Structure 1
Amino acid sequence: MTVYYDGLNHYAAFNIETDVPEQLPLTEEYIGCDINSNKNGWLVTSERQKEFFDVDHDNQMIKHVNKLMSKCRKGSRRWKKLEKRLQKWYNKRTNQLNDYIEKLTYNLVKEYDTIVFEKNYSTIKILIGGEQNMIFPLSRFIKRLKDKFQLYKSESDGVQFVKPHNTSRTCHHCGHINKELKVKTRNWKCPKCGKILDRDINAAINILNRWFNGDLPEKYLN
């Protein structure tokens, strides 16, 4: 049993041994994923899916309560009341994030046998509401993916990694490297083949392409 305190309440967590869960069926599906820190989606896939984690309301309320606290004398009755209110918002945001990670990782493992990322991952800032941002625990997200693959699909390839060099600047359609592409450019036209590319979707396809050693399935070229 583990006892922990979240700033408002004490909780007891129990570890219970159970039988190994039933394995999920293999789907022979695979996907490349590009990690971002912009409004285009923090996770963009080679299937053109974009993941967003929206806690803008929570962030605004945290900012609002902090502003109210700054006008109070520290340690006063009203300050202590606002401190509890602030902790509740922090806890709510944390719980939403944990729930989001658990559901997303399970759904990805259920749908795909292989999920490919670039090697240079650690933590990222997800931009929310312009100037508001929060730290997303990317390393924990990757770890939960690995844990679930081991638990539910032990025979699959699971989480794989490729080198990140030029994944955004290489046209997945013709292979041309656009060395003039700027970081802030989200959509660009390939100078060689004329293909209009979403920067992040293009990167995700290239990530998957590298895992295939250049043998990209036809469905990703359409």
Structure 2
Amino acid sequence: MSDPILPWDLTIKLRQQAEQQLKTGSTQLNAVFTASTDALSALFRLSSEANTASDGLKLLHELQTYQVELDLQMEQLQHNESDANHQLACYRQFFDLSPIGCIIINLNGIITDCNAAAAGLFAHLTNDQTGQLCGISMQSLVTANCQPMLSASLARVQRSQQNATLIVTAVTGSGNSADPCNLRLTISLSPDQKAILLMLADDASEHRLAADEL
């Protein structure tokens, strides 16, 4: 049986495993996958007549094998889902706890996710370091003279699917007398080409990272 969800070689392996379990009698059929009344009636009719009995037995064996194979595929898919959820949780933790600011934007430049380090870089704008950047445009976080350069870099990354790095100046907020903050942006396109990851570091964070490495 071919299943697009599972690799072909794994499907063949599961079929062989199902046949082996039926041969040795070591399997228990899952009640979720049961033959319909019509299918069982057809098998009974075939097995009741001498000239079709062998065909009935073959169909019965195929049905049993198919049922066991479905059970094994379900177990494999549940195992794959568990592994995927574990990996997702790990990557989510790495994202949230990274000392480098990370921002995810959609292809229209709207922020869809960010970690605490990124939110902290713009806390003076949001008065909140818990993710209030989500839903706003990435362009709004950099000064007007840096916006064309950022737009060009984002478009180039989408077009070439190659990472890009640039220096931009973050906005300081109205009435903020602090010196402008320069940020180093590393821009990457997601594998499915539906989102863009930006890693941000200011001079202070780069110095802290360098000190930690010493």
TM-score (norm 1): 0.32
Structure 1 or 2: larger strand share?
1
Structure 1 or 2: larger helix share?
2
TM-score (norm 2): 0.33
